[in-house]
């Protein structure tokens, strides 16, 4: 999987730059993905935070130098970013139960953090898939009464269908111009589905405040929706180029197979509509279905 290769790139870069005290931001810059994405993927695949891995590997490399060289412990400490020999001694003793000097005098087995290779069989695709499924989430969110300015395309059931009938640049231009007037929760460039019975109609546009009385562009219409609770089915930040189809499929499969009774609700899709939030590098992907308390 692409995520395995990205995490291996992170590991390799960290190892090559250990003396420079690598940070999450530096790793992010090196591999070309956002810090949040790097952090999540690293933890999902290795089972460790990047911070703990770097700390463990730094101490392991120091341990090898104490064991295999006659370099002064103070010089080794400073080389790898410790402020003093005492600071290294505290970390070393906490991890291994002995001081660096005692370890140099008499080596003993210690639990060193080894360099990871996530391409090994133990990091198989099924394990990674299970980890990524754990990142799927369901929570309740309340959205107040609002108006929605958009296009409800009766011939379209999804995003791809919608643009068969509308000019993307023109529609998105109108919606972008509404950014500052958009509803704070149902923001600009929000899309989704309006259900009538079993039929789903895809729409695209922007939420606006309930008191909005501004101009309505040609081809658009404005509809009003009451306040409602919503179930938010989500997956956090991900890489659009390599994971978009997989993430959207997983979220939508969960959203449209979920029994709201598990949360004490029933669907409220005759009164309200289903929203999508799709911001891969900042928010992730969400499908938001309206619900009401079970009678």
Domain(s) labelled CATH 3.20.80.10 in the chain stretch across 137-293
Residue 41's pLDDT is 82
Cβ neighbours around 29 below 10 Å, total? 13
Residue 281's pLDDT is 76
**Alpha carbons 33 and 60: distance in angstroms, whole number:** 27
Domain(s) labelled CATH 1.10.10.60 in the chain stretch across 2-127
The highest-level CATH class for domain 137-293 is alpha beta
Question: What CATH architecture does domain 2-127 belong to?
Answer: Orthogonal Bundle (1.10)
Residue 205's pLDDT is 94
Residue 130's pLDDT is 56
Q: In whole angstroms, what separates CA 5 from the centre of its chain?
A: 17
Residue 246's pLDDT is 84
Residue 127's pLDDT is 53
Regions of the chain with pLDDT less than 50:
1
Residue 129's pLDDT is 57
Residue 264's pLDDT is 94
């Amino acid at each position: 999987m692409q995520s395995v290769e990205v995490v291996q790139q992170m590991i390799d870069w960290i190892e090559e730059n250990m003396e420079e005290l690598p940070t999450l931001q530096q790793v992010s810059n090196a591999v070309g993905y956002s810090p949040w994405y790097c952090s999540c993927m690293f933890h999902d695949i290795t089972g460790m935070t990047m911070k703990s891995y770097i700390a463990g590997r730094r101490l392991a490399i120091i341990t090898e130098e104490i064991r295999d060289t006659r370099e002064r412990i103070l010089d080794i400490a400073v080389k790898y970013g410790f402020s003093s020999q005492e600071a290294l001694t505290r970390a070393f003793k906490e991890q291994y139960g002995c001081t660096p000097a005692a370890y140099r005098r008499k080596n003993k087995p210690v639990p060193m953090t080894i360099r990871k290779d996530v391409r090994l069989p133990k990091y198989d695709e099924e394990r990674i898939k299970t980890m990524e499924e754990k990142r799927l989430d369901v929570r309740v969110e309340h959205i107040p009464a609002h108006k929605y300015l958009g296009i409800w395309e009766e011939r379209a059931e999804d995003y791809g269908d919608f643009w068969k009938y509308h000019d993307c640049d023109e529609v998105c231009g109108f919606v972008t111009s509404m950014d500052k007037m958009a509803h704070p929760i149902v923001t600009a460039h929000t899309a989704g589905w309006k259900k009538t019975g079993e039929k789903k109609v895809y729409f695209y546009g922007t939420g606006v405040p309930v008191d909005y009385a501004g101009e309505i562009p040609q081809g658009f219409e404005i509809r009003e929706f009451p306040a409602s609770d919503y179930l938010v089915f989500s997956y956090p930040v991900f890489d659009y180029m390599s994971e978009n189809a997989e993430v959207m499929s997983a979220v939508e499969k969960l959203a449209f197979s979920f029994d709201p009774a598990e949360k004490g609700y029933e669907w409220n899709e005759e009164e309200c509509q289903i929203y999508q939030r799709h911001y891969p590098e900042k928010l992730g992907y969400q499908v938001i279905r309206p619900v009401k308390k079970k009678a």
